[in-house]
A and B are shown apart, each in its own frame.
Chain A
């Protein structure tokens, strides 16, 4: 079991001139919760769909649980749970029927009632997708991804459209699954979600990994505070790890009120935005950041 859950080396996916994934390397050990973060069109979903065995790659080496997903077998699918991006209100099966059927496909599934309970759909067990809310359908999708007791779970933008309470519930659910030693790869737009759930966060922009760190490590990059004020009629900004010292200095040379004084500690979000902003301006291919992900 020393083999990593996911091993990616030099992954590329080109659509003509568009390099949706442009040389990606990543290793995810077993049992890790990994969050892939990035703007629309960054290559998140393309990468995940290659890992899920739905898309062909242009180049690179990919192993998921030791298997090339392009040659996915039934035995491999037994061990992998997938929650696709987006949800559908089509479908004639009730939540309970859909889970019961899905459970019947796996060698050692979780219990249907237990899953319904875990995603908070016990009351809605007899409902079809059309009568569930978007958030409820998404929770059913999570349950379907987990019912087979997978070793590896892909969650592609799992909480898009959730209200804050539903997201908290989802987080609790993921934490309980993590307790079972399941490896989880999730993509998300929400920084707080990645911060809360992930052991490590990968930030992807224009098909490249621009940062790969623990949430604490990423936050550490935000150590500098930004101090702005107006002096002699002009606005000034300074970034400093020691804003208090700067303020003392300012107070010493100013009498009365300091005009427009503001001290801002950048959030994780600021780090994130700066990283993807840098990547966007550095992108060699001008079309690379503007194009929607192909699956959108």
Chain B
């Protein structure tokens, strides 16, 4: 028990990188995560695209085209919010978080690695969605400024989803409650936020409810990237509402951050 592997002292960056690799392995090797978080939006895009794809919902915009940005938005919410909230709650229940806390890994490195994992999974997921949309459903790649819009909507949306996911993991009493509560919640948002149904076709009061939450803005932001400019007039407000989108997503991110920082715990709720 004397030999030492020659290695330099770990740094914050090296520990974050190491943890990121662990997080990616944990995600990709967990069947539930891969099926329900990663592949689910892709399967839905193919399903809805095949069934309703041809229907035109506005001039030159098919339902499949409308559905693509919705699935991208929902993928961001799934990967950041739903997946993190449930997986962290499970890790807390099974003492996996406590084990992490027993090591010298700094908390900031742990969270940075989680965020990096969410970003990595989201990027691959969105690339797959866009590739399928372009190949089969006449979706068009955004132009130059569209990519810029995509970048900030994606980053703000992921940031909000991630902080809210971590916050939610602490608010739920245990892992069993996590999926039971979150799955219908996310489903409700998907139906009311212009993901499964066209936003302007749902009752106004439901539109107002959905407008409180981030998914509606995330979906609308992604529509502004992937739908032709002419569709802007068909939005509920007649506008893409970029400033409002940025404000709402940022507000949710800040709220998530505050709650996450104040409520996060490494140990179970009954363990203090």
Chain A residues at the B interface, C-beta cutoff of 8 Å:
52, 54-56, 74-75, 77-78, 80, 82, 84, 86, 88, 90-93, 97, 101-112, 114, 118, 144, 148-149, 176-177, 179-180, 294-295
Jot down 8 A-B pairs with beta carbons below 8 A, ordered by A: A54-B101, A88-B94, A91-B96, A92-B25, A101-B19, A104-B10, A104-B18, A105-B104
Main SS class of interface, B = loop
Interface size class of B (residues with CB under 8 A): 35 or more
Q: Which residues of A contact B26 (CB under 8 A)?
A: 91-93
Distance A92 CA – B21 CA, assembled complex (angstroms):
12
Chain A residue numbers with a CB within 8 Å of B3 are 110-111, 114
In the complex formed, the residue of A with least CB distance to B15 is: A105
Instruction: Please report the C-alpha to C-alpha distance between residue A160 and residue B1 in the assembled complex, in whole angstroms.
Output: 24
Q: Which of B1-39 contact A (CB under 8 A)?
A: 1-5, 7, 9-10, 14-15, 18-19, 21-22, 25-26, 29-30
Give the interface SS of chain A, mostly helix, strand, loop or mixed: loop
Known: A84-B98, A118-B1. A90 touches B90 (CB 8 A): yes
Residues of B within 8 A of A101 (CB): 18-19, 21-22
**Distance to closest chain B CB from A27 (angstroms):** 23
Which of chain B's residues have a CB closer than 8 A to the CB of A104?
7, 10, 14-15, 18
Name the distance in Å between B217's Cβ and chain A's nearest Cβ: 34
A231→B19 CA distance, assembly (Å): 73
A84 vs B272: C-alpha distance when bound (angstroms): 15
A78 nearest CB across to chain B (Å): 5
Find out whether the CB atom of A84 lies under 8 angstroms from the CB atom of B99. yes
How many angstroms from the CA of A105 to the CA of B15 in the assembled complex?
Answer: 6
CA distance A295 to B7 in the complex (A): 36
- 5 closest A-B pairs by CB: A92-B29, A82-B102, A77-B104, A107-B9, A104-B18
The reply to whether the CB of B103 lies closer than 8 angstroms to some CB of chain A is: yes
- Specify which chain A residues have a CB less than 8 angstroms from the CB of B112 in the assembled complex: none
Q: A105-B105, A110-B1 are in contact. Are A56 and B96 (CB under 8 A)?
A: no
Q: With A77-B104, A295-B271 known to touch, is A110 a contact of B22 (CB < 8 Å)?
A: no
Of A80, A82, A90, A103, most buried by chain B (CB within 10 Å of CB) is A90
B105: A residues at CB distance < 8 A: 105
Nearest chain-B residue to A81 (Cβ)? B102
Hey, which chain A residues are within 8 Å of B7, CB to CB? 103-104, 109
Q: Would you call B10 and A106 a contact (CB within 8 A)?
A: yes
**Complex: A180 Cα to B18 Cα, angstroms:** 28
Chain B minimum-CB-distance residue to A145:
B102
Q: Give the nearest-CB partner of A104 in chain B.
A: B18
Closest A residue, CB atoms, query B101:
A54
Q: Which residues of B contact A97 (CB under 8 A)?
A: 22, 25
Q: Is B15 a contact of A108 with CB atoms below 8 Å?
A: no
User: What's the Cα separation between A111 and B2 when bound, in Å?
Assistant: 9
Interface residues in B87-108 (C-beta closer than 8 Å to A): 90, 94-96, 98-99, 101-106
Contact B96 A111 (CB under 8 A): no
B-chain residues with CB within 8 Å of residue A112 when the two chains form the complex: 5
